[in-house]
Structure 1
């Protein structure tokens, strides 16, 4: 795992026709198409039901936290909480509010989408582009694929999003990463978790490819499972972004030391992404060498559901034209 390496040109993409053929073979060999559709619909209903229960519990936990803080400080409560007699009555006998099952903010973990496979199976993301990509966008997609050790790259061709997502679901892929461009410059990245979401959209700035980084490490690109560094994510939204990003990478085995580091550093809601490897310069000397790509990501939307649902998914958070009116407020 730690010694594998590939050249920059060895990450061969998966052709669009091959992806559809593979998905068809998976569906035909395992179960009929109708049964697969019924199973996916049933899983979707179960997920939405669990999500609704989690959101309800989160709302109750937030009200209980406000009630607890008000009782401790003597400050007045919001009328909607103060007039809720059942909430106050249940609060007296609630034994679930303990330091072991409640975090310091009184929040409930909403990342149910990742709970089933997190730490159990390696993620299998697929990286693709908008249609008719430029050479530079294709190179950027290849470098994103090299950044994620268990990912594959797809030449999209003329595939539309619904067919793309259904093929990815049939092939048991876990995430879809779609990169966009404007006049040859990568400008946006959409990360959609399969099969139920969420879908996070980022704008890209200051994108520098491997070939354009001065003094970057050349030659083979290590595919060892990287050590992840997340710094500066403090709010609930910031921790949500950390969950989305970290589940694109496979977990490293305990005791195994890889030779590369991927860092996500949040500075005023701008996420600086860097990729380094350890280079041995002496018997006991080790230095960090940047590999690339280098970029800045800015979150502008998180929606429920997957990519093909578009604007029909529930908006979890969005950066509107009025969101940044206060220059001193950071959301991540």
Structure 2
């Protein structure tokens, strides 16, 4: 008898002796494996989809039970005249952001002292009237003029000058002589606007933004046409020192006394360091509310005034790339802040 035959005899003797004892052990281990089994671990496509749909169904039922229990607890508290139980706050990237020392605080006297003497204080205090010059890069695109035309309607007291072959420094000196407070350069690439350069005059600073997801007015469904009234300005979530500086730069482009009669609203909403631009006008409409009595007869109630928003466009997103001291200088300029790839190591780290 060879080696294989002896091995089989040994295995057979071991199985006869301990067959009853090993059965419960293997069953418990298989049960644990089944509990830990994930759909991604299954190679069979049909079984994988079945288990995935089953887990999804169970999760949906569990969520529905939680909602019913919460509604029942709220109803019970209302009947007893007690306070409603606190609802859990869902975790998001915004409310779990990393702690930042540069977040502005309402009792920061040093910050308010800086704001009183910064480059935008004269415009924001009303000592100077905002006057904006808009130009392009040397090689303009097909959508560039359309975008600039809509920017001129958004920003009051703004004017356009053709760039031609002039250097940007010569344009800055020209703008200073004509008493402009800001200069906006629309940069284009492959016939598409892809960047904005906002320069505060006369002493800077210069902010370079990446521009993306541009939608012009003609491409917005049911868009409205804005009036020439000065708009209201809304700035959201500019919480850090850098965000406060960028917010004040944007604020200095627009007049500080809006004309509410035009019902125009310009919004710069910062979310995860992306600045979303929207331009709306709010509309008041009168609608009759209909009520039914016990005999199912419609009775007209007095008219209700309903407010709604109508988008005027354009629509785009800005991402801050650099913030430079003084006016634009590509060679010897000093940067207050510059975005670098190593800053993107964490999804919960924001700078604005």
CA distance in 2, matches of 1:199, 1:121: 19
Structure 1 counterpart of 2:319? 298
1:97-132 alpha-carbon deviations (Å, 9 max, x no partner): xx9xx8337534256112233223320011111113
Residue 167 (str. 1) matches residue 174 (str. 2): yes
In structure 2, C-alpha distance between the alignment counterparts of 1:127 and 1:117, rounded to whole Å:
18
Cα shift readout 1:172-213 (whole Å, capped 9, x = no counterpart):
111100011111111100000011100001001101111111
Q: In 1, distance between residues paired with 2:256 and 2:149?
A: 22
Moved more, 286-295 or 309-318: 309-318
Does 1:287 find its partner at 2:308? yes
Q: Deviations over 1:4-38 (max 9, x none)?
A: xxxxxxxxxxxxxxxxxxxxxxxxxxxxxxxxxxx
Inter-partner Cα distance in structure 1 for 2:238 and 2:284: 31
Structure 1 residues 156-305: aligned runs within 5 Å: 156-218=163-225, 221-252=226-257, 256-282=260-286, 284-305=305-326
Corresponding position of 2:123: 117
For 1:126, what is the secondary structure of its paired residue? strand
Provide the C-alpha distance between the structure 1 equivalents of 2:283 and 2:309, rounded to a whole number of angstroms: 6
Structure scoring higher RCO (CA < 8 A, sep ≥ 6) equals 1
In the other structure, the counterpart of 1:141 is 148
SS in 2 for 1:155: coil
Cα distance in 2 for partners of 1:122, 1:298 equals: 27
Distance apart, 1:160 and its partner CA? 1.4
* 3-state SS in 2 of match to 1:214: coil
Matched, 1:316 2:323: no
- Tell whether the 8 Å contact from 2:279 to 2:314 is kept in structure 1 after alignment: yes
CA RMSD of aligned residues (A): 2.0
Q: Is the 8 A contact 1:259 1:278 kept in 2?
A: yes
Shift of 1:257: 4.3
> Against the structure 1 CA distance between its residues 329 and 213, is the aligned structure 2 distance closer, same or farther, given a 3 Å change threshold?
same
Deviation sequence 1:197-245 (CA, Å, 0-9, x none):
0000100110111111111114xx3121111111111111111110010
Aligned residue for 1:325?
345
TM-score by structure 1 length? Answer: 0.65
- C-alpha separation between the residues in 2 aligned to 1:248 and 1:117? 9
Structure 1 contact 201–302 (Cα < 8 Å) conserved:
yes
The alpha-carbon deviation at position 256 of structure 1 amounts to 4.9
Is residue 139–residue 188 contact of structure 2 (8 Å, CA) maintained in 1? Answer: no
Unaligned runs of 5+ in 2: 1-104, 287-302
Is contact 2:141–2:193 with CA below 8 Å preserved after alignment? Answer: no
Separation in structure 1 between the aligned mates of residue 139 and residue 192 of structure 2, nearest angstrom: 13
Give the distance between the partners of 2:149 and 2:110, measured in 1 at CA: 41
